[in-house]
Amino acid sequence: MSEGRGPGAVVAIVGATGAVGIELIRCLEERAFPLAELRLFASARSAGKTLRFRGRELPVRELTEDSFEGVQLALFSAGSGTSKRFAPLAVRAGATVIDNSSAFRLDPQVPLVVPEINPETLRGHRGIIANPNCCAIISITPLWPIHRVNRIRRLQLATYQAASGAGAAAMEELRESTRAYLEGRTYEPRVLPHPYAFNLFSHNTRIDPATGYNDEETKVIQETRKIFGDGEIRVSATCVRVPVLRAHSMAITFECSQPITPARVRELLREAPGVKLVDDAERNYFPMPKDASGQDAILVGRIRNDISDPDGRSISLFVAGDQLLKGAALNAVQIAEALRTG
Ligand code: A2P
């Protein structure tokens, strides 16, 4: 596309009725993204529904092979299968695609972009740009300012992931199963593999028998390397689903090349774009999903030395970020904005 320069592009959202789709619509509206027209697509189940944008009810249409005629920018969030099938068609019709699924993230031809970290990789795009995994975005955006000045050699993280990452139906399952639990009713999980209310479980993706890591953990490991442009960084993750609606939290420990202090980390993060320090030891007030929900910024706190590293090169901290915003829709819209401004 002409990258939407000028009066505004014709923009399509694929998966407009989903948890991320709804936030994409809201982000475009709140950030006053310049667009000539917004077209909303979902499955046949949603055809005929309407969704509100800039004070008007817009129709949701069934996604078909002809949906992209005249579209210049297409924001996809309808799962990998839909992206694999329809994103190439959108590109062929002349659109630039920003894809929230994992379908193209590791394709060397496809930029995997967090605008605060690697906006320069957008320059070489060939029509498809990938929006990274939500945990990857939320964990590494605050680490980038540190990595730039004192290379992170090793990174370990444990996640506390919200329902929203598994879509709108999983959020509903959390609400419904919590209600059932409190009322003493039995509830059969429909979306997630285990009881969700007052419980937590290892992330609901496939375990690779060769490594013992689940797909979510593998994504975080591989995507961190690609986004940082650092194939050497050693990463390990344990991803867990917790009964929280829409913000992911993570306990992170990283080891730098040179010694580093918590004060230096605070100093670097105070100025960092997209990050907010919430690090009040006196009040024991640190990042919480309740505070991160609905916020653009990733909250960072509990910044301290990892005392198991006698060399003083390691830091532990805790982050919380809205999975639907910076972890998905907001990052995608920021990519679209970066494309416009070049
Ligand atoms: P629909 O609401 O019609 O099922 P979530 O991640 O919250 O589960 O949302 C998934 C989004 O992807 C929804 O908007 C859903 O539409 C859409 N979707 C799922 N399958 C398809 C498909 N085959 N074609 C187009 N949109 C799809």
Taking the CB of residue 222, how many other CB atoms lie within 10 A of it? 18
Q: What is the pLDDT of residues 179-237, one digit of tens each?
A: 999 999 999 999 999 999 999 999 999 999 999 999 999 999 999 999 999 999 999 99
Closest residue by Cα to residue 170 from 136, 130, 204, 125? 204
Residue among 70, 127, 134, 184 nearest 332 (CA): 134
Q: What is the pLDDT of residue 87?
A: 98
For 9-131+328-341, CATH gives 3.40.50.720
The answer to whether the CB of 219 falls within 8 A of the CB of 105 is: yes
pLDDT of residue 2 exceeding 50, the answer is: no
Per the DSSP assignment, residues forming a β-bridge with 241 are 161, 201
User: Which residue among 25, 43, 173 is best mutated to probe the pocket of ligand 1, counting the most ligand atoms within 8 A of its Cβ?
Assistant: 43
Q: Is the pLDDT of residue 10 over 60?
A: yes
* 158-171 pLDDT, tens digit each: 999 999 999 999 99
The predicted model scores a pTM of 0.97
Report domain extents, the chain: 9-131+328-341, 137-322
Local confidence band at 273 (pLDDT 50, 70, 90 cut-offs):
very high
Does residue 101's CB lie within 6 angstroms of at least one atom of ligand 1? no
* Residue with CA at minimum distance from ligand 1 atom 22: 43
Predicted pLDDT at 342:
80
137-322: CATH class: alpha beta
**For range 313-323, the mean pLDDT:** 99
Q: Given strand 314-322, what is the order of strands in its sheet?
A: 234-238, 152-160, 247-256, 314-322, 298-305, 275-277
Q: 122 CA distance to ligand 1 centroid (A)?
A: 27
> What is the model's pLDDT at position 79?
98
The span from the CA of 167 to the CA of 171, in Å, is: 7
Token readout for 33 is 């993204």
Dist. CA 27 → ligand 1 center (Å): 19
Residue 78: CB within 6 Å of ligand 1?
yes
